[in-house]
Amino acid sequence: MNAPASPDSPASASPCAASPYLMHTYARRPVSFSRGLGARLWDTQGVEYLDAISGVAVTNLGHAHPEIAAAIADQAGQLLHTSNLFRIEWQERLGQRLCALSGMKRAFFCNSGAEANEAALKLARLHAHARGVAQPQVLVMENSFHGRTLATLAATGNPAVQRGFEPLMPGFVRAPYDDIAAVRELAERTPGIVALLVEPVQGEGGVHAASAAYLRALRQLCDERDWLLMIDEVQTGMGRTGAWFGYQHAGIAPDVVTLAKGLGNGFPIGACLARGRAAGLFSPGQHASTFGGNPLACRVGCTVLDVMERERTPERAAALGQRLLAGLRETLHGHPDVVAIRGLGLMAGIELNRRCGELVGRALDEQRLLITVTRDSTVRLLPPLICDEGQIDDIVARVARLLVPRAAVSGGGRAGGPDPRPPS
């Protein structure tokens, strides 16, 4: 077992296991998991953990879901891949079902969130050229996250993601998030805007939800100006916010919707959905993906939908999300370090008054809890949507113990519950 990080050591000095054979794209924790079940994980030493991040909003139906595992095994024994040179029944079925759930008309399948957004951005370019706009701009938001490819990192509103990769792809203008006046003002003075790309809740950006009024006003502005309203649901989609898609809380119909993360419950798949003119913009030869929409990925997607429809997973996420937020607000009420507690559905953020990256390692070592920290100072929780109420309460209790002010711990161990560390 790895020694717990010293509580006082900065995150940069915490032990980070690194293979000499892997590029240094991640600062990894020195823990490896060998097994999971629902919201629980076991590391290679057999220690049990509670998963409050779901592989970053991916394994929404939990680990080792028996129905999904069976679908993968069965399809692997039949057919994995044929290419998009032929019709693919599972792809057609998944496209139809996603369109029915989202109000969209057509789907393009790919393998990740960034690729789904690339497809959306290419639709925006085609939309522009169909309108005779030679120098198109896509309006994106400050603090946003859309992926790591060259186009999507340029769309992303975080200099840390862009630094080192200049020159950035041109064709983006940026407005503050959840500020309709700023968007209207930008619209007045910027020629060539043809589309708007926005997250209903900024996840990587610190768990900030847009107001329903803002999303409705964006819809109206896009109608007035013939812009495509493109909603990045890569993280918020598939029930995460307590609705199938985050924009449904505002009762709007976007022109383009992008999906990935939860769609395959860990099997890689992404989708770009569109309706209206946007659904007919691509013609053969203009966009493609070798792997995208293969029989295995799409059967997994269909199985995820089977489970979610049968178990009413989005409704369950809404109820559990309320329980999580209420629990956090009650338990952390008056906490000296807590600046804000935000969330929608099972996306929750606890903003602290300090940089807190070191909490990720401490949560693992001391609380056996998987969390993430985003934007340096916000603890982010993305529990599986299939958690039971006891597990939600357990997450709240472990987070509360993690955030107990240091003085209170050394002053008598008032940690608000039993120490979950197994005897060593």
Q: Where do contacts with ligand PLP occur on this chain (CB under 6 A)?
A: 112-114, 117, 145-147, 199, 203-204, 232, 234-235, 260-261
Q: CB of residue 400 vs ligand PLP: minimum separation in angstroms?
A: 27
Output the DSSP codes for 358-380: HHHHHIIIII-EE-EEETTTEEE
Reported in sequence order, the residue ranges of 177-328 that DSSP labels E, i.e. its strands, are 193-198, 201-202, 208-209, 228-232, 256-259, 270-274
Place of tokens 């022109």: 255
Q: How far apart are CA 243 and CA 237, in angstroms?
A: 8
Q: How far apart are CA 381 and CA 364, in angstroms?
A: 14
The nearer residue to ligand PLP, 113 or 206, going by C-beta atoms, is: 113
The nearer residue to ligand PLP, 204 or 358, going by C-beta atoms, is: 204
In the complex, residue closest to ligand PLP by CB: 113
Q: CB of residue 15 vs ligand PLP: minimum separation in angstroms?
A: 26
Please give the DSSP secondary-structure letter assigned to residue 313: H
The nearer residue to ligand PLP, 117 or 303, going by C-beta atoms, is: 117
> Which residue type, as a one-letter code, is found at position 290?
T
The nearer residue to ligand PLP, 292 or 327, going by C-beta atoms, is: 292
Q: CB of residue 155 vs ligand PLP: minimum separation in angstroms?
A: 9
The nearer residue to ligand PLP, 108 or 397, going by C-beta atoms, is: 108
Of the candidates 27, 245, 228, the one whose C-alpha atom is nearest the C-alpha of residue 140 is 228
The nearer residue to ligand PLP, 113 or 254, going by C-beta atoms, is: 113
Residue 173: beta bridge partners? 139
Q: How far apart are CA 179 and CA 172, in angstroms?
A: 17
Of the candidates 242, 369, 363, 305, the one whose C-alpha atom is nearest the C-alpha of residue 61 is 305
The nearer residue to ligand PLP, 178 or 204, going by C-beta atoms, is: 204
Q: Is it true that the peptide bond before 418 is cis, omega within 30 degrees of 0? A: no
Of the candidates 227, 244, 209, the one whose C-alpha atom is nearest the C-alpha of residue 60 is 244
The nearer residue to ligand PLP, 144 or 313, going by C-beta atoms, is: 144
Residue 350: beta bridge partners? 341, 379
Q: CB of residue 112 vs ligand PLP: minimum separation in angstroms?
A: 4
Buried b (16+ CB within 10 A) or exposed e, 196-205: bbbbbbbbbb
Q: CB of residue 270 vs ligand PLP: minimum separation in angstroms?
A: 6
Q: Which residues contact 364 (CB under 8 A, 6 or more apart)?
A: 29, 31, 49, 370
Output the DSSP codes for 48-67: EEEESSHHHHT-TT-BT-HH
The nearer residue to ligand PLP, 235 or 377, going by C-beta atoms, is: 235
